[in-house]
Structure 1
């Protein structure tokens, strides 16, 4: 990632809707360049954060800067530097793909010949040239998302916000969009991505930030977060619900994930034989309850459950790795 001033910087950002606190002193810094993923449960404040950064919502207090510009005092400068692709494609279904992009290029201030050239270049870049003359209403979901991303790049932004861009797409379309996002980052654009698909963050993001209860609870690379919150997991499957419940009581807050439907739970481990034997003896001293166990590497799912499954303290300490 490039050195220099951050692409995005938030300091003590707060936002409430009525009595509901959405952002509670959020502070984070996004370096210039690369893909940065913002993770969190529904209601954690991801979309609100993006809307504030895109100047669509005003914060109650704190400061937010994008490309060096304050999102409240310098809204026009922010808007010239950014683009936003939301959860739903913002396209005119009655127009063709080329008409959509040409119209947006004209609205961005390009003359007609330049607008047509810009539209053609983007359609080619996003593998939509063959569908340029078709009305958008005939496009598949994956094609619409690619066209929406192309539309967001008409103005050549330095920072692009993607709010759950692959929601509702089939696996093949998601894969295609992942490739496009990688190309954007490779071209020097700073991409801030919100997603509920943890494998998406694992695959795409140079750095991951986890929100919980309106604040930042951890940030780092995917590998660093996995190491920080347990390099391996011991997964235990129980004979019955009573044994599962008893084991959960013994382990307490060491349980990283629990799945009553599968009669399974997970606990962090270093993977060594002595520790695994010790855990098995601790939770199943009679050796009649556990029917199967597996030791595996931690995933972002484990990180997510560990971080968001515990209550946030009033004075939140961020785990930076």
Structure 2
């Protein structure tokens, strides 16, 4: 069964051939300052924050919409998301002329709600009280799908989403080759696991010597815990994290199968280390990252992984943060 969840290299390349016509090639930036600070030989940042809709999510969303049947595409789709998949799916739907409904937790950042609506999506908010917010939003999305006859899309637990997100990894591999480099270590943040599932498979197939580190907020390390124990685990409901896009309590089946295949291991970062990473990204590389997008950089800077003398790739996943929230984080960094 697990094999059915893991896209092949040909599948990844097929997806990228389609999505690359609708997405931007995000740059691969080298930072000598970060290399000196961490002791690494070279440090590269791939800022998916500069992608359409401000994150990598449009890659998987566009590919998933292209896999709809004509009838499904005509009726439209519904999904739940705290923000970045919402924007990516809304932007992809707008580009393809497919109606999109997004169910979002009421405490999702206002900037992400507004941007999602700005791409023409219908936004439905859910109030989760003390319940797990993704479970409440998912239930509402299922209800809408059933009552309105819409195709229900999952933001990360879908082999096609994994295949679409792999474009970021395939792109990075080409860019590294163009700089006469190969990555010894790769840091990538983890929410439900769609991105790291795709990126880890791309490196597993084409750069198997690269060690891949999945980065999660403290208290939301469902992927790391699941990998450590060999089966999917659900984390208890606990304190919030500033990394709103990484607050999934369990990884998806498809991403978990992918990261197991690729030999990923997990580490966690705290809120303060993420704020510091946001500040360093801004001051050293002129990148505006949201907290979720800076988690991977926080892991590099945190010293939990020995990077001395190694070539490191950091995937900075998103930059969807309001100016007010960004400044608040900077004031506490």
What TM-score do the two structures reach when normalised by structure 2?
Answer: 0.25
Query: If each structure's strand is expressed as a fraction of its own residues, which one has the higher value?
Result: 1
What TM-score do the two structures reach when normalised by structure 1?
Answer: 0.26
Query: If each structure's helix is expressed as a fraction of its own residues, which one has the higher value?
Result: 2
Higher relative contact order (CA 8 A, sep 6+): 2
Give 1 or 2 for the bigger CA radius of gyration.
Answer: 1
